[in-house]
A and B are shown apart, each in its own frame.
Chain A
């Protein structure tokens, strides 16, 4: 045992033929940590260059393709930035429909993350495949929940993955009231599946590592809401929220030697964004079923265990299903009114911020007087979390370094998975050999 514990060499590097993934490097010699680094390749900076030179109404065609998991978030952050820059007002109907699309994405992403990535760890298996053999009913429930999110996004976005119906100022194609009633029925019918997934995670939650590291938590805040598509930038380290237009003073992106991706910090060395941050800042606005879910897990606003991000995702999955019903009822009461967005291009600078499933996402564009984009800046949640992952690792390793190497490696991987970083969202190619 002493041999195992005094020297550790972990290098979770997956050399792929096209792109890089995140890498954990840990080297312990004679019981001393010589190297501990969370190394990550740069996230989608190159999309910024593709947006430049495009007209205000063409930007969306690029941004909705950035990521297959967070396509609504990227679309909406872009639309809000364009609307901010060009002074475009949107109707309450548009705002509600967009929120529903965001909810579809949260449902899809949170259930997948909890069911596909986290549950196998807690159940002690390597991936969702063995889980599908041992707990097929749970995996089927996860898939039905994912499908609900997918359907919501499809109805609101006008297509399955990349939501082209959402445009600056409104919707190119509006859902019908019949569509919305069908979504309402779909949510009601999916409650038992959602409950099964949440209860399964609850039964395994004791396996979540007990590790705490207080840090700064940042999310959108707005009085009276648990916001995803509005608000100012809130932090657990200050009572004074900052307007989204001042995002640069919050993210303070800086270069570090170990990673080509920039890191972020505000009041401390690092901060965390995502479900746990949102829960800590906005828990008072949760609806009853979500409150009950948080209580069942013993989640409190004081939580500072990053592994509990997955628990906060389960709470949020319930919250957004519950609030989707409220929003759908509001829309069905007022009825869907046809509207034609009128936009007059002009020069401007604007910022859009939304809560993507993984945390706060900023898009920032400059347009010239013809409405052509001349500058773009995208700050994705994952980049904001990298420094925090590093600091978590630095605090966690001394607590676990007497354990066998495989266990240390698994715990570090689980830590990264808790954040579900978007490190290779851009490609889905096959890599195969013939048998």
Chain B
């Protein structure tokens, strides 16, 4: 029952890439086989979050999309991200950090059928239980493609007016693409807010499931991309919330 779960946000800097990597780590820590595809071809981040050195990257998602390799060849196992041992397995398909590759992805886009086929090959040959896809912020054509092939779309937003408005557009567009499941993750919520109150308001405003209300945490901000928060702070309340979110999204 493998599931493709894409994480998206209307604006950049909301914490989508970080959440993707942390959710993957939590699922793998429970012994699951997890795939992570960095489909944010314009601003890739997953290789860095999982502590993958530039030299270790042989093949990327870009190589697969331009027909230079099979998708499985671009996947590399990151079972010990930054020295943390995981019970399960994480396979990462990174995106290229080469500027000309980034430019090409922007210029040409790619074929939706090839992307869909790639995801399915990855799931089957690596026997994945969950495939997490990190997308680019905003609603460009490539991102819409990913919506079209996702089983679940998790939209990450911050509690601010611009995100509220942007998220309403994303939810509407995703529904028109018949995404089977939509879930919202509200990130960087000021600690003084009552989580239940925020959840009720967000659910009501968008008429969709809320997977998590994540309070702002100084440790999260301080760690930034220098590691995986849930592995560094396994006992932190925020890690607890993320664990619940991971369980809910894969249920």
A and B interact:
no
